[in-house]
Structure 1
Amino acid sequence: MAGHGHHFRRSRRARPGVGQIQQADMVTNRHKYFRWTGRTARITFAYMVAFPALMGYIAYKYEGKFEMRGKRRGDTIVEY
């Protein structure tokens, strides 16, 4: 079968650990390279405020509305 054996070539990866070391260093020193931009502010707002607020609203709106225990085939899950 053609195409096998390309995983063993050394020419593509002369030093295999260098990329992993650089990535580990970047993760360790992330605070040194982080900058507040409009994009990072929007993403932070979305994950720390908007998404939890949306989930809280949905949970509050549908609290007690569905009963999943003791239902049989054909029974509705909506209580009211």
Structure 2
Amino acid sequence: MAGLKHFKMAMDPAIQKLGNMTTTRHKYFRWTPRTARITFMYAVFVPAIFGVVAYQTDGKWDLRAKRKGDLIAEF
């Protein structure tokens, strides 16, 4: 351990290429039907599903001050 310089490592060209690609990805992005579909799913569809489920189950369960054997359903 004494005298070795562990902080000096040989840089892997593949890792450098990957890092450069990820930092400049926005320059080469194109809207295709696939990327539009994926964006729609993550930006609109998934939050809408979570919103619908949240509104349907709003107020149905009360988890505060419950003891063993108490029901959590309030409806």
TM range (shorter): 0.7 to 0.9
Sequence identity percentage? 50
Q: Structure 2 length normalisation: TM-score?
A: 0.78
Q: Which moved more, 1:41-50 or 1:56-65?
A: 56-65
How far is 1:20 from its partner?
Answer: 1.1
Number of positions where the alignment pairs a residue of Structure 1 with one of Structure 2? 66
Cα distance between partner residues in 2 of 1:41 and 1:74: 49
Q: Structure 1 length normalisation: TM-score?
A: 0.74
Please show how residues 1-80 of structure 1 align to structure 2 within 5 Å: 17-80=12-75
How far is 1:39 from its partner?
Answer: 1.2
How far is 1:16 from its partner?
Answer: 5.1
Cα distance between partner residues in 1 of 2:54 and 2:35: 28
Secondary structure at the counterpart of residue 48 of structure 2: helix
Cα distance between partner residues in 1 of 2:64 and 2:43: 33
Considering only aligned residues, what root-mean-square deviation do their CA atoms show, in Å? Answer: 1.4
Matched residue, 1:9: none
Structure 2 residue ranges without an equivalent (≥5): 1-9
How far is 1:27 from its partner?
Answer: 0.8
